[in-house]
Amino acid sequence: MTITTPEAPATAPAPKPRKSRWLRWAALPLIPLLLLYVVAMTPHWLDDYRVSRLMDRILDHPLPPETGFGDFGTQAVVSGDSTDCWVDLRFSLDMKRPTDEILAHYRKADFTKGDDNFSEIDFSAWVWYDDSGKPSAATDKPVVHGSLVIEVSALFPGSTFMDTRCW
């Protein structure tokens, strides 16, 4: 004798929890804000790219004899007025040569070759001084052969009127 059991009724799969659509609707207004941000920041990014290319050309230039890169990294500040942008680039060198010789080395190089974005490039140098008026020993190196900060100032037209740093 065989015993048959009635088949269990087929159970429908559990219904999927309904995804909240409020998240999609809440994210929808963020898309235009994101696009506005990209449009507003594009001139900044383009100018930053130009400035970094100039800094790379300066840092890739052979160093003066008996010098090396200093302790603090490179810095760049963009500012301006009437859509003309000024950029100030700074980097430090550890030197064993006179400052005038180091400045002459950088001034005779043509960093704008093939790049029409920058004009009026000027080099200056300064050292740290403490309250007594003596050069500061900010590093462990002797003050006579100390650290020199090279500052490069340049003018460039900026990427349209939209770079707010150049207003």
Residue 9 lies in a domain: no
Containing domain of residue 142, as a range?
A: 24-166
pLDDT in tens, 26-61: 788 888 999 999 998 988 898 888 889 889 988 899
Report field, pTM of the whole predicted structure over 0.95: no
> Which two structure tokens, joined as six digits, stand for 38?
């990209």
Inside any domain, residue 14: no
How many domains does the structure of the chain reveal?
Answer: 1
Residue recorded with tokens 């130009």:
50
Tens-digit pLDDT profile for residues 145-162: 578 889 999 888 766 567
Higher pLDDT, 112 or 32: 32
4 is a domain residue = no
- Region of 88 on the Ramachandran plot (φ > 0 left; ψ -120 to 50 alpha; else beta): beta
